[in-house]
Amino acid sequence: MSETNTNAPLLEVKGLKKYFKTRRGMLHAVDDVSFKIERGKTLGIVGESGCGKSTLGRAILRLLEPNGGQVLFEGQDVANLNAEQMRLKRRDMQIIFQDPFSSLNPRKTIAQTIGEPLKLNKIITDKNKRMERVLELMSIVGLAERLVNTYPHELDGGRRQRIGVARALALNPKFIVCDEPVSALDVSIQAQVLNLMKELQSSLGLTYMFITHDLSVVNHFSDDIGVMYLGRMIEKAPAEELFANPIHPYTKALLSAIPIPDIHYKMERILLRGEVSSPIEPPNMCRFAPRCNDCMEKCRTSEPALVEVSPGHFVSCFLASDEVMPV
């Protein structure tokens, strides 16, 4: 591989769109989203329920077919691949689902679940060698060998999610979409799974897109953070920069909601009033305008572009971008 390709981002998303047809019109679940993820890095995606985070992850992997835009994986647009080419490409692009119980087949043992990708993709056809690989993967994610023939209902949430991680690692992927992988787990188990994923990223050179509601988790886990609101990416910056210098009013409100474990700390919550706009056939205006305390007239008549206000810090807000050229 050339030096240019090595230094290029592993994943580049350009103007990605995913709409759903409803009786009232087209629902804009993901609307013109663009970003890059460097090799070996983690992009955290945050936002409230219904903002399009999970749909974005599934559209990137073509589990949902996008309506427009490009998904460039190692420079290749996966939207142009046929079914067989996409099946092969998914060896490099995997997903860890949110619910560790519903994402597992209750009729399959741990060995069958982890070994299934190897079998379906004909990576290891010999049954004994496949079992060796399954045991190796179980060891990597911290599952005891004695659990090899157990079923999902016999295990706790942490072990179930480790099965999901092992299954995602089975084909030696380069990129994994982590769709709220710890939201259904207890706090202590969350820490174990997150530490495991960080260790795997370091040892295997994995690249993550980490979808979550938990801002404390995303700050700990991510190199960069993207904030979504009603299908749009409204702010993106390095994690440290975003927490130190949030610019978009919605990002500021999200960060103000993080609980501080100090009884002497006076929390300054930013309360959002007004109704959430409908994502169905949204008008040409800032989608956050009905809830924004700093809303201006132009916010209700046009939609702000995503602009770079400082190196690596992108914002979609007229308050920050009036004198900055769009990216």
Distance CA 287, CA 230 (A): 7
Residue 113's domain spans which residues? Answer: 106-170
In a shared domain, residues 81 and 26 = yes
Residues above pLDDT 70, as percent of the chain: 93
Distances, alpha carbon 252 to alpha carbons 88, 235, 243, 289, in Å: 42, 11, 9, 15
Q: Is residue 8 pLDDT above 90, yes or no?
A: no
In a shared domain, residues 148 and 247 = no
Q: Is residue 264 pLDDT above 80, yes or no?
A: no
Of the listed ranges 68-72, 94-98, 260-264, the least confidently predicted one is 260-264
**Within-domain flag for 100:** no
Q: Is residue 46 pLDDT above 90, yes or no?
A: yes
Mean pLDDT throughout 171-187? 87
In a shared domain, residues 77 and 121 = no
Residues 6+ apart with CB under 8 A from 215: 46, 254, 255, 257, 258
Q: Is residue 214 pLDDT above 90, yes or no?
A: no
**DSSP label of 258:** S
Note the pLDDT tens digit of each residue in 216-252: 788 888 999 999 999 999 999 999 999 999 999 999 9
Contact 213, 183 (CB under 8 A): yes
Q: Which one is predicted more confidently, 185 or 3?
A: 185
Instruction: Give the pLDDT band (50/70/90) at residue 3.
Output: very low
Largest CA distance in the chain: 68
CATH number at residue 294: 3.40.50.300
Q: Is residue 265 pLDDT above 70, yes or no?
A: no
In a shared domain, residues 199 and 151 = no
In a shared domain, residues 83 and 191 = yes
Mean pLDDT throughout 131-137? 94
Name residue 62's amino acid. Answer: R
150-155: Cβ within 8 A, 24+ apart: 150/109, 150/110, 151/106, 151/107, 151/108, 151/109, 151/110, 152/101, 152/104, 152/105, 152/106, 152/113, 153/101, 153/106
State how many domains the chain has: 2
Note the pLDDT tens digit of each residue in 146-168: 999 999 999 988 889 889 999 99
Q: Is residue 183 pLDDT above 90, yes or no?
A: no
In a shared domain, residues 118 and 21 = no
Please give the helix or strand (H or E) that residue 22 lies within, else none.
strand 11-22
Of the listed ranges 130-144, 257-271, 296-310, the least confidently predicted one is 257-271
**Within-domain flag for 248:** yes
**Within-domain flag for 202:** yes
Q: What is the pLDDT of residue 202?
A: 92
End-of-domain residue from the set 128, 150, 170: 170
Mean pLDDT throughout 308-326? 78
In a shared domain, residues 148 and 219 = no
In a shared domain, residues 225 and 80 = yes
Note the pLDDT tens digit of each residue in 48-70: 888 999 999 999 999 999 999 99
- pTM of the entire predicted model: 0.88
Q: What is the pLDDT of residue 63?
A: 94
End-of-domain residue from the set 143, 170, 197: 170
Instruction: Give the pLDDT band (50/70/90) at residue 2.
Output: very low
In a shared domain, residues 296 and 239 = yes
In a shared domain, residues 200 and 266 = yes
**Within-domain flag for 98:** no
**Within-domain flag for 244:** yes
Average pLDDT, the chain: 88
In a shared domain, residues 18 and 69 = yes
Q: What is the pLDDT of residue 221?
A: 87
